Amino acid sequence: MSGFVYLVGAGPGDPSLLTLRGKELLERAEAVIYDYLVHTDILEYAPKGALLQKMGKQGHGEQHAQDSITARIIELAKEGKRVVRLKGGDPSIFGRMGEEALAITEAGIPVEIVPGVTAASGAAAYAGIPLTHRDYAPCVTLVTGHRRTDGGDGPEIDWGALGRVGGTIAIYMGVMQLEGVVEELINAGRSPDTPLVVVHRATWPEQRVVEATLATVVETVKANNLLPPSLVIVGEVVKARSRLGWFDKSPLKGKQVLVTRAAAQAKEICHLLKERGAMPIELPLIELRSFGHKSGVDATLRKLFSYDWLIFSSVNAVEYTFERLYGLGLDARVMGAARVCAVGPKTAETLAHFGVKADAVPEKYIAESVVEEFKKFGNLKGLTVLIPRAKEARELIPEELEKLGARVETVAIYE
């Protein structure tokens, strides 16, 4: 039984520009064939057991012939797999979608084509440039600057005609052939003073935008060492960039930030860093592990209802507690009438996710603040308190609460 192939546009780089349909298909994929323009964060949507294979063409780097890529897709589909062919940008715009889709359907394999944000749209938006403007750019032309090297009989690009059309021209893969393209456009009547931009790695945190004119762009590209992947946008619309260039104003634009938190916790802070233009690099220096299946832990969790207060000092404490409770076939109901203290709003939010509303959330997210919260109750004599926590943790809370008269137990739920 043959599988199914999905030709999915991954967008120009920024993982958040992936379409909802693309994400849905990745989450159900059994094999993913992707090219070098695809941000690896997008691959995290694929199931853990899915085959991930990088195939494509990268400038002067690793090369895979188109025939070999298509053959591999067909091979996997004939094994009965759901194959996602993940392509940078939009697969139907200079993405070889036509060749791949025809070959796959001729092999008797069904295909679905999922559009993506094409490089011209992404580059223009992130550079602060409208591709069209009714005052001076009523049309936009998308054209490849890459010349065929396979000896095919396809039509040549009439640069002279494009130069006479006017409007905006977005040139894909043209930075290496720019000198010839510029000469053709000027010879066709485009003014040497026509403004343009070269956008390198559009929508990525390291995006670079270099402004020039038709007369100066060749030398400008050399001076700035602009290499593929770069897209050229030619036309009067470029003048809007000085007022609309929002992405370059990101506070952490281009900054590399090392994130050493445990892998499970790094995602949120990495997301926030990316929103501010940074390039987070994940390097987990700690690993969190559950103490589940230990008899002492399980016995304590089975009698959570017997305590007056449960104190959760972190998101990890909540998550590992409920992970083990679920493993024991229990849930929040085992807490009975016990009241719950959460250190910090994130901890309270995580408790709420599991159906538990915190009775107390200290204003400051530190151990000392927990003690101050309990001091409000006066004498704690006879009050029973359980603190599920990490194996290595500060003793301040249990020591201070015991001084106030409480009977405090701790249980190491993770390390």
Give the pLDDT of the chain (415 residues) as one tens digit per residue.
679 999 999 999 999 999 999 999 999 999 999 999 999 999 999 999 999 999 976 654 556 788 899 999 999 999 999 999 999 999 999 988 999 999 999 999 999 999 999 999 999 999 999 999 998 899 999 999 877 655 566 678 888 888 888 899 999 998 988 999 999 999 999 999 999 999 999 999 889 999 999 999 999 999 999 999 999 999 999 999 999 999 988 899 888 899 988 777 788 888 888 888 888 888 887 766 766 566 678 889 999 999 999 999 888 899 999 999 999 999 999 999 999 999 989 999 999 999 999 998 888 878 888 888 888 877 788 899 999 988 877 788 888 888 888 899 999 888 7
Q: State the pLDDT at residue 203.
A: 94
Catalytic, out of 35, 87, 90, 274 = 35
Q: State the pLDDT at residue 362.
A: 87
Domain boundary assignment for the chain? 4-116, 120-248, 252-282, 295-414
- Nearest in space to 66 (alpha carbons), one of 111, 29, 35: 35
Fold match, 120-248 / 295-414: no
Angle at 86 between CA 109 and CA 151, to 5 degrees: 80
Q: State the pLDDT at residue 377.
A: 78
β-strands 230-234, 168-172: how paired? antiparallel
Q: What is the pLDDT of residues 41-64, one digit of tens each?
A: 999 999 999 999 999 766 545 567
381: burial class by Cβ within 10 Å (0-12, 13-18, 19+)? exposed
Q: State the pLDDT at residue 292.
A: 59
- Nearest in space to 111 (alpha carbons), one of 119, 102, 122: 102
Region of 203 on the Ramachandran plot (φ > 0 left; ψ -120 to 50 alpha; else beta): left
Spatial distance between the Cα atoms of 45 and 25, rounded to a whole number of angstroms: 9
Q: State the pLDDT at residue 159.
A: 86
Q: State the pLDDT at residue 63.
A: 63
Architecture in CATH of 295-414: 3-Layer(aba) Sandwich (3.40)
Task: Indicate the residue type of 196.
Answer: L
Q: State the pLDDT at residue 378.
A: 77
Spatial distance between the Cα atoms of 11 and 119, rounded to a whole number of angstroms: 7
357 CA to centre of own chain: 31
Q: State the pLDDT at residue 152.
A: 61
Residue 35 designated active-site: yes
Across the chain, mean pLDDT equals: 90
pTM for the whole structure = 0.77
Q: What is the pLDDT of residues 299-313, one digit of tens each?
A: 899 999 999 999 998
Range 171-197 burial, b when 16+ CB lie within 10 A, else e: bbbbbbebeebbebbbeeebeeebbbb
Catalytic, out of 57, 239, 253, 267 = 57
Architecture in CATH of 120-248: 2-Layer Sandwich (3.30)
User: Considering just the CA atoms, what is the radius of gyration of the chain in Å?
Assistant: 29
Residue 57 designated active-site: yes
Spatial distance between the Cα atoms of 214 and 110, rounded to a whole number of angstroms: 45
Domain 4-116 matching CATH 3.40.1010.10: the answer reads: yes
Going by the DSSP 8-state scheme, the letter that residue 414 receives in this structure is E
Contacts of residue 180, defined as CB under 8 A and 6 or more positions apart, other chains included, come to none
Spatial distance between the Cα atoms of 376 and 402, rounded to a whole number of angstroms: 15
